[in-house]
Structures are given as structure tokens and as C-alpha cells.
Amino acid sequence: GQQLNQSPQSMFIQEGEDVSMNCTSSSIFNTWLWYKQDPGEGPVLLIALYKAGELTSNGRLTAQFGITRKDSFLNISASIPSDVGIYFCAGQNFGNEKLTFGTGTRLTIIP
Amino acid sequence: DAGITQSPRYKITETGRQVTLMCHQTWSHSYMFWYRQDLGHGLRLIYYSAAADITDKGEVPDGYVVSRSKTENFPLTLESATRSQTSVYFCASSAYLEAFFGQGTRLTVV
């Protein structure tokens, strides 16, 4: 089956720093999505990308859909304490709403 | 309350017992999913359903059974629980490419 590799697995940063993470796939996807999971909760959608090369922002978050359709990137600018959590990428193909998830990037903010 | 709810939130069961995890959504979304979350593996799809009475296997279906007689409910049954099925289970429903997740059920098999 399709596999999504996410990196880094974990990040320890200070408040105010920018964050970058990425996701690569062994095969192409038509849609890329980024989710965030707070402790004890289910994942929540942050950004959806529908076209190769697309760059989309949601507040301090910016995500890009790679031109090969096999990768995606998420950047968080000026991190704040509520950014702590696990970030998942997910890929989706036309005709089926099931998502394939990456392994997640755990973000921790050091005081 | 509107949304997607899972029950129970926490469950401890013994090896070999049958256990059913419940999932209910109020949006009438056609698609519903069951994922399990384990350290190092992210979220892996167990089963999904495109509509009532239509279900299909995901990535890790062995040892699980699902049914969907009504659009709003999608129960997941572990027929004979094993320790390897200790995990956090998430149900989700989806419409127009956006999936909404429940709060999860933490299942421990002892």
C-alpha cells in the first residue's frame, strides 16, 4: 500500500521560532492535507491542498503541494505555546475519501 | 449534540474477549472510517464505509469486524481481542474531502 514518510519525527523549539516539516510518498496523491492533533483529542484539519504546486496559507501556517505530487511541506511561523501537538500529513486520491496518514511530527515548545 | 461521538472513551478488556467500539455521527456524512493510532505508525486505516451497507477493508483489517446498517452508526468489533490490539481507536466521518474525527477510544487488552 501507499506509505507516507514524515520528517522530522519530533521537534523541540523555543517560542517564536519558525517550524518546517515535510511529508513524502512512494506514489502520487491528488490531494494533500495537514492535520493537527492535540493531546487526548482527534486530529483536526488545518490545510487542504488540491493542485500540484499550490501554496496555501491559514494564519501562521503555510503548506505546499509538491510539483511531483509525491510530497508536501508545512511551515509554521512564529510558534506559540498552543502550536504544541502532533502534526499529520495525509494523502487522498480522487473517487475515494479515505485518507492515508503519515507517521506524524510531534512539536514541543521549550520554555 | 451535533458531531461525531465515540464510546466508550476508555476500555480495558481481557485477551480473547469480544469488544465493540461505538461511533455515531449526526451530519449524515456518507463516508465513515476507523483508524488505530500507535506510536511510530501514525494513523492506520482499519475499515471504512462509503454508505450504509457498504464497507471495505483498509490497511490493517485482520481481527476486526464492522457493520453499517444505518448511516449514522459505524461500530467496530474485535472478535477475540489480542494484546497487539491495544491502541487508541479513532472514528471519523467525511464529506467533500474533509474528515472529522471523534475523540478516540483508548483500548487496553490485558
Dist. CA A33–CA A39, nearest whole Å: 20
Mean pLDDT along residues B51-77: 96
Chain B residue whose CA is closest to A38:
B103
Query: What values do phi and psi take at A83, rounded to 5?
Result: -75, -10
Dist. CA A33–CA A17, nearest whole Å: 23
Query: How distant is the Cα of B49 from the closest Cα of chain A, in angstroms?
Result: 9
Per-residue pLDDT at B40 exceeds 90: no
The pLDDT, as a whole number, for residue B1 is: 61
Mean pLDDT along residues B30-53: 93
Max alpha carbon distance in chain B (Å)?
39
The pLDDT, as a whole number, for residue A93 is: 86
The pLDDT, as a whole number, for residue A1 is: 57
CB contact under 8 A, A97 and B94: yes
Residues contacting residue B5 through CB under 8 Å, at least 6 positions apart: B23, B24, B25, B102, B103
The pLDDT, as a whole number, for residue B4 is: 96
Which tens digit of pLDDT belongs to each residue from A2-46?
678 999 999 999 999 999 999 999 989 999 999 999 988 999 999
Which tens digit of pLDDT belongs to each residue from A44-99?
999 999 999 999 999 999 999 999 999 999 999 999 999 999 999 999 988 778 88
Q: Is the dihedral of CA B52, B55, B58, B61 positive or negative?
A: positive
* Nearest alpha-carbon partner for B55 in B43, B40, B39, B71: B71
Q: Kindly list the residues from chain B whose CB atom is less than 8 angstroms away from the CB atom of residue A101.
A: 35, 42-44
Q: Kindly list the residues from chain B whose CB atom is less than 8 angstroms away from the CB atom of residue A31.
A: 97
Per-residue pLDDT at B34 exceeds 60: yes
* Nearest alpha-carbon partner for A33 in B92, B60, B53, B79: B92
Averaged pLDDT of chain B: 94
The pLDDT, as a whole number, for residue B71 is: 96
